[in-house]
Structure 1
């Protein structure tokens, strides 16, 4: 496997080194990355860092169900995202790249090491999984930045380094797109056969166990949103309010009907009113009990984490 662009197009050229495979460029690397709930230096384990920074194992576990969350087509360009009223939110997690929720679009800034031919040759090309993920991430930027207005937005939001101007980006994009499309489609990670993915549906897939059942997936879904209990109950139990309103209207109508005296001798109607009233009381008590149990369960779940 070869880098997706030539040595003439490379935008970053780090110093040569014979003892280390990681070229030194401290100002272009994160200070630390999280792995197994611990902070580690990228230089201490380059392959682990690249796996965390590029690969999308959770999305890959949902690969055969991604058609429920998105379409197999390129993501909209940045200026179209803004035209739709979406706010571009920066995320450093590749599994959240091009995931949208309501008026927010999560995008991972393009890592500057992906602009170096040498870095590709030494650290990415020898590893198929890394290569497929890196190529997919780089290719996704050809979707997002198609015009000068897109490039301006990318600079303003910090998605691309300021040094990447229009002539440089045009040259890089042309070299990526000149590759055989069918071959490129086979080379990229399967996540990038889809463009934008809807977060609400990813959360549903994760909670239903399509990514493997676990208590964490059941509670947090694919991507955790608000940590406030109020928001959680409004989102998951808001429909109960509509049910309670409907029950109240029906009970009031039954009460009026009985008060008219017309159904005074209608035992079937009176029995139906009785059963519905008892069922309504049971439903309300069950809903309250469920909400209380849910609150205690979430409290202990977060307390134990």
Structure 2
């Protein structure tokens, strides 16, 4: 999923760029980096037509007198963007000196950096939210199960032969089996706690929102009655 911010109409104004470079150089570098990113998004006329389609409308129409609009053609767009196309990283904000972070990775790291479970919510249902992190859990479970199966086979083979059983291997296998059992139990418990916490959180948010709405409606009705 890719979120693209449309270009505001004022960024096509030369007067605005002259002003912003004098008023706030940091903001000017941020806007220059934003415009430079469009040079990478729109490389051909087909990209330009897609960006100006009514479904996306990433490139706006400019006001051209009272009640009229000026359509930006591909030639005008290329001529204007040539001013920022070859800007190096020193002339743009540092945030545009590197590639963009995928939303899935940003959501995964949001708890460490922002203290919340998601930077931007893309799951509107609990089932899809739980399913988003079940794949790595299932993969880890399969890997651990395979390791445990190998250890079990090795222990069974040594116990049925004349070769003496290695005490170190037996201790490691026993400890690993206990650790995996604890991790599996804790993982299942965390999933259950997470599901219950999300459901309770949604219930509390819904209840508070409903209470505020009813309180606001009652206040409006009371004020209307007093005015009447």
State the TM-score bracket (shorter-chain normalisation). Answer: 0.5 to 0.7
For 1:105, what is the secondary structure of its paired residue? Answer: coil
Answer yes or no: is 1:158 the counterpart of 2:57.
yes
What is the TM-score with the length of structure 1 in the denominator? 0.49
Alpha-carbon distance in structure 2 between the residues aligned to 1:239 and 1:114: 43
Match of 1:286 among 161, 186, 190: 186
Matches within 5 A, 1:1-305: 104-121=1-18, 125-156=22-53, 157-161=56-60, 163-177=71-85, 181-182=87-88, 185-209=89-113, 213-214=114-115, 216=116, 219-220=117-118, 222-246=119-143, 248=145, 250-251=148-149, 254=152, 258=156, 262=160, 278-303=178-203
Q: TM-score, normalised by structure 2?
A: 0.62
Query: What is the Cα-based RMSD across aligned positions, in Å?
Result: 3.8
Instruction: Report how far residue 172 of structure 1 moved.
Output: 0.9
Change (3 A) 1:147 1:278: closer
For the Cα contact (< 8 Å) 1:132–1:189, is it kept in 2?
Answer: yes
Match of 1:43 in 2: none
Matched residues in 2 for 1:154 and 1:196: separation?
Answer: 19
Q: How far did 1:106 drift?
A: 2.2
Counterpart-to-counterpart distance in 2, 1:205 and 1:257: 41
Q: Distance in 1 between matches of 2:165 and 2:85?
A: 77
Gaps of 5+ in 2: 62-70, 206-228
SS in 2 for 1:254: helix
For the 8 Å contact 2:9–2:60, the answer to whether it is kept is yes
Task: Note the C-alpha offset of 1:126.
Answer: 1.8
Greater helix percent: which structure?
2
Q: Which moved more, 1:278-287 or 1:143-152?
A: 278-287
Kindly indicate which of the two structures has a greater share of residues assigned to strand: 1
Change in 2 beyond 3 A, CA 1:300/1:266: same
**Are the counterparts in 2 of residues 257 and 263 from structure 1 also a CA contact under 8 Å?**
no
Deviation at 1:272, TM superposition (A): 6.9
- Any gaps of 5 or more consecutive residues in structure 1? 1-103
Q: How many residues align?
A: 191
Contact 2:35/2:81 (<8 A) preserved: no
CA distance 1:262–1:134, change in 2 (3 Å)? same
Q: Which residue of 2 aligns with 1:92?
A: none
Q: Deviations over 1:102-122 (max 9, x none)?
A: xx3321111112112344455
Tell me, what secondary structure is at the counterpart of 2:78?
Answer: helix
CA contact (8 A) 2:29 2:91 kept: yes
Report the equivalent of 2:220: none
**Alignment check: 8 A CA contact 1:251 1:277 kept:** no
- Give 1 or 2 for the bigger CA radius of gyration: 2
More contact order relative to length (CA 8 Å, sep ≥ 6): 1
CA contact (8 A) 2:155 2:170 kept: no
CA contact under 8 A between 1:154 and 1:160: conserved in structure 2?
Answer: yes
By how many angstroms is 1:168 displaced? 1.1
